[in-house]
């Protein structure tokens, strides 16, 4: 049975801005179509099975492995932090999310510096036990490890928010009927968090599809890397456009799978339930749970930080290793903050149409809005260079165009967070407000907005963090002299000066950490009790 909110006709005031938002998100796709349509037959040879099938298979394996690994880490972490008496919950709530601030290319570099040839681990083993060689982490294993490091917080944060605001009545009823803790989680808790888990998995899959830095450093033959290699052939970008369309096709498959998972989800009570979930005593599993959290945080946060600090301490004597590129930091904060604000406002009409006025065309708008996130940043940047140079030269190489690129690139992250929260708000609460004679605008401000606030903050923070790390689009679209922390890191690492890049990487992590606290730590404090 369809929700009552879905039977009302979609208002024009939502339809127009939603269509404008999706049109902006589809500009890179339009660029690819124009390029591919004008390509000759030789450009389409990249789709021959001998060339394309291995790329598709390798990419699909990578995406599946990273999504499964992120879910296997993120869901238990969220449950332990939110629902149990885990010692140090407030600390784990923030520390578990902090890897989100580490760019995938920095994560890959740090992992290679720690676990790769001539890395810290090999040096330690050689000095202690005389071990001269350890297994390489290049290939699938290294790419999965680096991308999981950078993406599992998406699953952790969205699932934690769902667990934090869920009504515990159903779980308590199941336990009162004698069901075990695992049975309650499998039959009651997991179906309740499925929309947020699907949204988190979607973000992980899209991030993995669009990543270039980690797969390049780990020498893994992903489709995105093939697109970049084709774009290096500056005299003929048509084959890259054809491969880009293949990447869009994979994105459509991912969106279809996520949509099927979400349709199987059921609505719980709305966020903001007056009674917070009680803490489940871990008992004899208390310290194994602490060991699990320690292993995750140690491997995915402390290890990369240790490598960066070690590199920073070995910076060239001609530079102060503690020197901070303050202007680059301010530029990063400015561009990322503007992108976060614009993205959250832009996705609101799309999310409201899809969730409160469900129809084939509104759901199609929502699905189309996700396509840009699967495209590499360089594709989006080149598309905007193409359209900007031809039709909007006055905005070329301006801050406005850079912010627009960030919004297009990371729009799905805001949409996933806002949409997941809106789906969990029972529409009957809004209908009750309207039945009391309140105007729709009043219901929106007094009922929907307070319940939607966690999703708005989460969406803004996700876009901000991603924009802080974005590199290809920044390199191509930034105004002249507008350096960011990401470009500072790239300029040093491209020269092999990892020690000189480490201070900027550490600053990026430092200035991004408060926004991770906004996503996780603030609500962890609201839970109260000993932490």
- Give pLDDT, residue 182: 66
For residues 43 and 261, which has the higher predicted lDDT (pLDDT)?
Answer: 43
Q: What is the pLDDT of residues 140-170, one digit of tens each?
A: 999 999 999 999 998 998 888 888 777 666 6
pLDDT at 4 over 60: no
Section 412-424 average pLDDT: 83
Q: How far is Cα 113 from Cα 377, in angstroms, rounded to an integer? A: 25
- Give pLDDT, residue 341: 94
Section 54-78 average pLDDT: 95
| CA dihedral of 188, 193, 195, 201, whole degrees rounded to 10 | -130
Q: pLDDT-based confidence at 321, cuts 50/70/90?
A: very low
Average confidence score pLDDT of the chain:
80
Considering only CA atoms, which of 516, 518, 461, 481 is closest in space to residue 325?
481
Section 168-184 average pLDDT: 67
Q: How far is Cα 356 from Cα 80, in angstroms, rounded to an integer? A: 33
Contact 413, 466 (CB under 8 A): yes
pLDDT at 28 over 50: yes
Q: Look-up: residue for tokens 């990447």?
A: 247
Q: What is the CA radius of gyration of the chain?
A: 23
- Give pLDDT, residue 42: 81
Domain around 419: 4-526
- Give pLDDT, residue 38: 84
Section 330-345 average pLDDT: 94
Instruction: Give the tokens for residue 321.
Output: 């290793």
pLDDT at 60 over 90: yes
Q: Look-up: residue for tokens 């069901």?
A: 179
Q: What is the pLDDT of residues 358-378, one digit of tens each?
A: 788 888 888 888 876 667 777
Please indicate, yes or no, if residue 474 is contained in any of the structural domains.
yes
Q: pLDDT-based confidence at 240, cuts 50/70/90?
A: confident
Contact 158, 201 (CB under 8 A): no
pLDDT at 180 over 90: no
The sign of the CA dihedral 7, 11, 17, 20 is: positive
Please indicate, yes or no, if residue 531 is contained in any of the structural domains.
no
For residues 5 and 522, which has the higher predicted lDDT (pLDDT)?
Answer: 522
Q: What is the pLDDT of residues 392-405, one digit of tens each?
A: 667 878 899 999 99
Q: What is the pLDDT of residues 265-281, one digit of tens each?
A: 554 444 444 456 667 78
Range with the poorest average pLDDT among 40-44, 58-62, 129-133, 148-152: 129-133
For residues 231 and 274, which has the higher predicted lDDT (pLDDT)?
Answer: 231
What is the percent of the chain with per-residue pLDDT over 70, rounded to a whole number? Answer: 80
- Give pLDDT, residue 437: 65
Q: What is the DSSP string of 403-448?
A: HHHHHHHHHHHHHHHHHHHHHHS-HHHHHHHHHTT--HHHHIIIII
Q: Look-up: residue for tokens 């298979």?
A: 57
pLDDT at 249 over 80: yes
Q: Look-up: residue for tokens 């059921």?
A: 266
Tally the domains of the chain: 1
Q: pLDDT-based confidence at 7, cuts 50/70/90?
A: very low
Range with the poorest average pLDDT among 57-66, 90-99, 209-218: 209-218
pLDDT at 438 over 90: no
Q: What is the pLDDT of residues 194-203, one digit of tens each?
A: 888 888 898 8
Contact 308, 114 (CB under 8 A): no
Domain harbouring 53, CATH code: 1.10.3720.10
Question: Which of 215-219, 440-444, 489-493 is predicted most confidently?
Answer: 215-219
Please indicate, yes or no, if residue 34 is contained in any of the structural domains.
yes
Please indicate, yes or no, if residue 13 is contained in any of the structural domains.
yes
Instruction: Give the tokens for residue 180.
Output: 């075990």
Count CA within 13 A, CB hemisphere, residue 229.
Answer: 13
Considering only CA atoms, which of 444, 462, 469 is closest in space to residue 515?
462
């Amino acid at each position: 049975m369809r929700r009552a909110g879905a039977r009302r006709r979609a208002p024009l005031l939502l339809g127009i801005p939603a269509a404008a938002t999706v049109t902006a998100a589809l500009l890179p796709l339009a660029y690819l179509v124009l390029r591919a349509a004008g390509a000759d037959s030789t450009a389409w040879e990249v789709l021959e099975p001998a060339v394309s099938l291995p790329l598709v298979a390798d990419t699909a394996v990578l995406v599946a492995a990273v999504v499964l690994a992120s879910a296997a880490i993120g869901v238990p972490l969220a449950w332990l932090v939110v629902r149990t008496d885990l010692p140090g919950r407030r600390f784990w709530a923030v520390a578990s999310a902090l890897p989100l601030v580490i760019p995938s290319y920095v994560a890959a570099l740090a992992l290679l510096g720690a676990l790769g040839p001539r890395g810290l681990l090999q040096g330690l083993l050689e000095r202690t036990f005389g071990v001269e060689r350890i297994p390489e982490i290049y290939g699938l294993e290294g790419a999965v490890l680096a991308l999981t490091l950078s993406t599992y917080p998406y699953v952790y944060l969205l699932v934690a928010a769902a667990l934090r605001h869920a009504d515990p009545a159903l779980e308590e009823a199941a336990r009162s009927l004698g069901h075990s803790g695992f049975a309650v989680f499998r039959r009651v808790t997991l179906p309740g968090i499925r929309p947020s888990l699907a949204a988190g998995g979607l973000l992980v899959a899209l991030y993995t599809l669009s990543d270039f830095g980690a797969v390049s450093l780990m020498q893994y033959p992903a489709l995105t890397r093939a697109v970049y290699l084709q774009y290096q052939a500056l005299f003929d970008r048509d084959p890259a456009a054809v491969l880009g369309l293949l990447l869009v096709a994979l994105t459509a498959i991912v969106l279809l799978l996520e949509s099927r998972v979400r349709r199987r989800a059921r609505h719980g009570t709305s966020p903001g339930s007056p009674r917070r979930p009680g803490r489940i005593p871990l008992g004899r599993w208390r310290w194994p749970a602490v060991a699990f959290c320690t292993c995750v945080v140690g491997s995915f946060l402390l290890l990369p930080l240790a490598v960066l600090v070690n590199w920073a301490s070995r910076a060239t004597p001609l530079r102060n290793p503690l020197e901070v590129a303050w202007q680059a930091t301010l530029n990063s904060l400015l561009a990322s903050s503007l992108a976060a604000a614009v993205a959250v406002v832009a996705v609101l009409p799309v999310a409201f149409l899809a969730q409160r006025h469900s129809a084939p065309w509104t759901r199609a708008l929502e699905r189309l809005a996700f396509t840009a996130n699967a495209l590499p940043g360089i594709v989006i940047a080149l598309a905007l260079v193409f359209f900007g140079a031809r039709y909007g030269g006055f905005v070329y190489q301006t801050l406005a165009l850079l912010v627009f690129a960030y919004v297009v690139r990371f729009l799905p992250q805001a949409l996933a967070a806002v949409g997941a929260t809106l789906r969990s708000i029972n529409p009957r609460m809004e209908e009750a407000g309207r039945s009391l004679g309140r105007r729709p605008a009043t219901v929106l401000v007094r009922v929907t907005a307070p319940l939607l606030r966690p999703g708005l903050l989460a969406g803004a923070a996700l876009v901000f963090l991603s924009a802080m790390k974005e590199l290809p689009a920044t390199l191509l679209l930034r105004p002249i002299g507008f350096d960011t922390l990401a470009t500072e890191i790239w300029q040093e690492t491209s020269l092999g000066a990892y020690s000189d890049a480490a201070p900027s990487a550490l600053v990026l992590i430092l200035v991004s950490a408060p926004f991770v606290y906004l996503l996780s730590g603030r609500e962890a404090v609201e839970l109260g009790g000993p932490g």
